[in-house]
Amino acid sequence: METPREQPDRTEIEWVEDGERRSAPWRTNSTVKPPKRVEIAGDELRADDAMRLASEGTAVLWRGDFLGARQLLDALKRRLDRQQVKPDPDLAVTFHRHRQARAHRTRILSMVLIELDADFGIGLRRAPDIRDACREAYGEATEPSVASLQELLGTVGAHEWRRRGVLIPALDARIHPHYGVFAPTRNEYIDLVAEARLPSTATAFDLGTGTGVLAAVLAKRGVGRVVATDIEPRAVACATDNVQRLGLADRVEVVQTDVYPTGRADLVVCNPPWVPAAPTSSVELGVFDRKGHMLTEFVRGLPDHLNAGGEGWLVLSDLAERLGLRTRTQLTDQFDRAGLTVLSRTDTRPRHPRAGGDRSGGRDPLAAVRATEIVSLWRLAVRAS
């Protein structure tokens, strides 16, 4: 089992129980900070009181029945669902309001706390065994700790994704996402890479490989040597695992680096995070790209990493353009400044559930925009001098 990246700073959470001041490490893989005020609570706590406490910045460390804690969390979610984001004519403003609302939701839901034993066991009535899920998310434990119930349930969900895997029709096989690595549940971008005409079957780079799904697709298509890169240790471990599961380790090398490996290739594929905004958790690294760093570095570095006659394939959604976070002109200007020319662009419509309209009961103010999203594969080449 891989060891997840260690948290840079040990953060403690403190509380008073039975007249004694206690503390434990705060476990999280998000940017949510430990609450400064903690009260002990159990099955007698009403959801309205928990909501009031959470809104005031006070968390509850649960000592009741585990299923009671889950019911309390569901009750908080229902109350939060009633809070609607006010749309603005400027979609960028609506997007930022929506992000703020999601951050508020995350903060409130993180206020229901569970204490974990030194081996990630939970000493509550009817508590499930989530030790394997926690080890995959946090590494091995050596002492008791405290985490939010919401995050712990996320580790269980991620554990099930990893165990079952995601069926990828282009591979006729399953990809197994690890905790904190974006799951390849959207097949339209995979199909674009699986169906585009290859400039060569000699060498390829897959930048920001994540689960390794695109590297595997290229190898399955006959590319003799694929170098897959990612800066995140979790993704490197995940891609390595999937490449080995698929029997492609002799053709795919996984390297930890920021964007490009050394050398050149006949084909460079990049499916960067599509939205230029700051991620708030490890899994959001697959969706949000702070200041468009990866997109910029891919475009800027492409001429120095392509063999003569090679191509760069950029797989990108136009969602950021539709939200007013980036313009098409800004994108094509990046190509031009890097000395690149567009050979062609292939467009497709997403097939994920949210692309079909609003299924949130009106809670997603961006549903209409998501329904019009287009995903494109841009074929780029170095402009002839």
Domain boundaries, given as residue ranges, for the chain: 12-161, 165-382
Query: What's the rounded mean pLDDT across residues 140-156?
Result: 95
Instruction: Give per-residue pLDDT as tens, 45-85.
Output: 999 999 999 999 999 999 999 999 999 999 999 999 988 88
* DSSP codes joined into one string, 212-225: THHHHHHHHTT-SE
Number of H helices, E strands in the chain: 12, 15
Query: 129-138 contacts: CB < 8 A, separation 24 or more?
Result: 130/155, 130/156, 130/159, 132/159, 133/158, 133/159, 133/179, 135/1, 136/1, 136/4, 136/162, 136/178, 136/179, 137/4, 137/29, 137/179, 137/180, 138/4, 138/27, 138/29
Q: What is the pLDDT of the chain when averaged over all its residues? A: 91
Region 216-243: what's the mean pLDDT?
97
Cα–Cα distance measured from residue 327 to residue 322, given in angstroms and rounded to the nearest whole number = 8
Question: How far does the chain reach from its first CA to its final CA, in angstroms?
Answer: 50
Asked if pLDDT for residue 4 goes beyond 50, the answer is no
**CA–CA distance, 208 with 184 (Å, rounded to integer):** 13
For the segment 240-263, the average pLDDT, to the nearest whole number, is 97
- Non-local (6+) Cβ contacts of 173 within 8 A are 167, 246
Give the CA angle between residues 327, 205, 289 to the nearest 5°. Answer: 35
Model pLDDT, residue 355? 53
245 Cβ partners below 8 Å, 6+ apart? 176
- pTM for this prediction: 0.88
Q: Are strands 306-317 and 375-382 parallel, antiparallel or unpaired?
A: antiparallel
- Give the pLDDT of residue 186: 86
Query: CA–CA separation, 66 vs 24, rounded Å?
Result: 20
Burial of 353 (C-beta count, 10 Å sphere; 0-12/13-18/19+): exposed
Q: What is the pLDDT of residue 354?
A: 54
pLDDT (0 to 100) of residue 3: 38
Residue type, 177: P
Taking residues 113-134, report their average pLDDT.
97
pLDDT for the residue 281: 66
CB 272 within 8 A of CB 224: no
Q: Does the pLDDT value for residue 98 go beyond 70?
A: yes
- Taking CA atoms, 86 is separated from 96, 101, 109, 127, 246, in Å, by 11, 10, 21, 39, 47
DSSP 374: -
Could you give the CA distance from residue 108 to residue 164 in angstroms, rounded to a whole number?
A: 31
CB atoms within 10 A of CB 219: 25
229-252 mean pLDDT: 97
pLDDT band per the 50, 70, 90 thresholds, residue 361: low
85-89, 193-197, 321-325, 360-364: least confident range:
360-364
Q: What residues contact 31, with CB distance under 8 A and at least 6 apart?
A: 280, 281
Token pair in block for residue 142 = 């050596």
When the candidates are 3.40.50.80, 3.40.50.150, 3.30.9.10, 1.50.10.10, the CATH number that belongs to 165-382 is 3.40.50.150
What would the DSSP string read from start to end of 242-256?
HHHHTT-TTTEEEEE
* pLDDT band at residue 289 under the 50/70/90 scheme: confident
Two tokens, residue 87: 């749309």
pLDDT value of residue 165: 96
For residue 103, pLDDT beyond 80: yes
The SS3 of residue 348 is strand
CB-count burial class (<10 Å; 0-12, 13-18, 19+) for 67: middle
Cβ neighbours around 36 below 10 Å, total? 10
Report d(CA 313, CA 315) in Å as an integer. Answer: 6
Q: Residue 162: in which H helix or E strand, if any?
A: helix 149-164
